[in-house]
Amino acid sequence: MEIILGGIALLSLLSAILKWLTVPGSITAFILGFIIFKAFDWQGLVILGVFFITSTLLTKWKRDLKRDEKALHSEEKKGRSAGQVLANGGAALIAAACHTAIPNPVWLIMYTAAFATATADTWASEIGVLSKKKPFHIKEWKTVDRGLSGAISSLGTFAAALGALLIGFSFYILFDTSFLVALCITISGFVGNLADTVFGAWFEQKFFCSMCKKETESRVHCGKKTTRIYGVSWVSNNLVNFTSTLIGGMIAGGLYIWINQ
């Protein structure tokens, strides 16, 4: 137990040093890891690790190519913030806390599906942004610049399916489970990612940069404040991510209860 706690502490510290996470982000990740370990043991931590390590590596991958397409927030340079950690891991954290209070196998399914959604979403945006073709915005019903929420490309959709599948497969390897349950997790992760796209398209705030004449999700672009053109003022990318991971988790929980009737 001490070894695993030491491992979580070391990885959190390393994440701060490597600027994968900010210092508050790294402290949040440590607490998240601790609660997950208490609820789902080391196997639960591996699920978190698969999400965190693949997502971070994909974010760094071909970063120079993505720079033009994605507005780099100052926080992106400093690493993922505590808010971003909770946006991706908050729903999973709730499932872990519920399992500690009222143990039931359904919490582990919801936990894993929340990370399947977060993984699908991150893979879709980090790989999808490299698509040669411009993505299609599902609300505006036209092609838009790469990197905007609510836009889909075939490459991004394929990446989302692959990300959800990796978590489903990890679950199958780590836990004594049926193929059907692992499939439920994969499907829920993919559907959760679709929910993320829909929320992103309809509710998330979009801004316009007067310098480069582009739509962006950043309040600051090209070193200047941007103007909000649409979206609901309190709907941020973090809230959209949190809601979609919650939905992915609930779909898997519902399917699990249904197939076990």
Look at residue 169 and give its three-state secondary structure: helix
> Does 17 contact Zn ion by CB under 5 A?
no
Q: Which stretch binds Zn ion (CB under 5 A): 33-41, 94-102, 128-136, 201-209?
A: 201-209
**CA 13 vs CA 16, 62, 74, 106, 211: distances in Å:** 5, 25, 21, 32, 38
Query: Is residue 229 at the binding interface for Zn ion, with CB under 5 A as the rule?
Result: no
Among residues 221, 240, 243, 244, the one that binds Zn ion under rule CB under 5 A: 221
Tokens of 84: 């971003």
Q: How far is the CB of 70 from Zn ion (least distance, A)?
A: 11
Give me Rg for the CA atoms of the chain.
Answer: 18
Is residue 14 near Zn ion by the rule CB under 5 A?
A: no
* Span from 13-21, 40-48, 81-89, 220-228 in contact with Zn ion (CB under 5 A): 220-228
63/225 with CB nearer Zn ion: 225
Question: HEC states along 46-99?
Answer: HHHHHHHHHHHHHHHCCHHHHHHHCCCCHHHHHCECHHHHHHHHHHHHHHHHHH
Q: What is the dihedral of CA 165, 184, 236, 231, to 10 degrees?
A: 110
Q: Of 45-53, 146-154, 208-216, 230-238, which segment contacts Zn ion by CB under 5 A? A: 208-216
Q: Which stretch binds Zn ion (CB under 5 A): 11-19, 81-89, 202-210, 230-238?
A: 202-210
72 near Zn ion, judged by CB under 5 A: no
For residue 167, the minimal CB distance to Zn ion (Å) is 35
- How many angstroms separate the CA atoms of 205 and 129, rounded? 19
Q: How far is the CB of 110 from Zn ion (least distance, A)?
A: 39
CB of 76 to Zn ion, least distance (A): 15
What minimum distance in Å lies between the beta carbon of 218 and Zn ion?
8
The upper half-sphere exposure of residue 22, i.e. CA atoms within 13 Å in the direction of its Cβ, equals 14
Query: What phi and psi values does residue 27 have, to the nearest 5 degrees?
Result: -65, -45
If one asks whether residue 220 binds Zn ion (CB under 5 A), the answer comes out as: no
Task: Say whether residue 222 binds Zn ion (CB under 5 A).
Answer: yes
Quote the tokens at residue 148. Answer: 């905007």
Number of residues in contact with Zn ion under rule CB under 5 A: 5
Q: Which residues make up the interface to Zn ion (CB under 5 A)?
A: 209, 211-212, 221-222
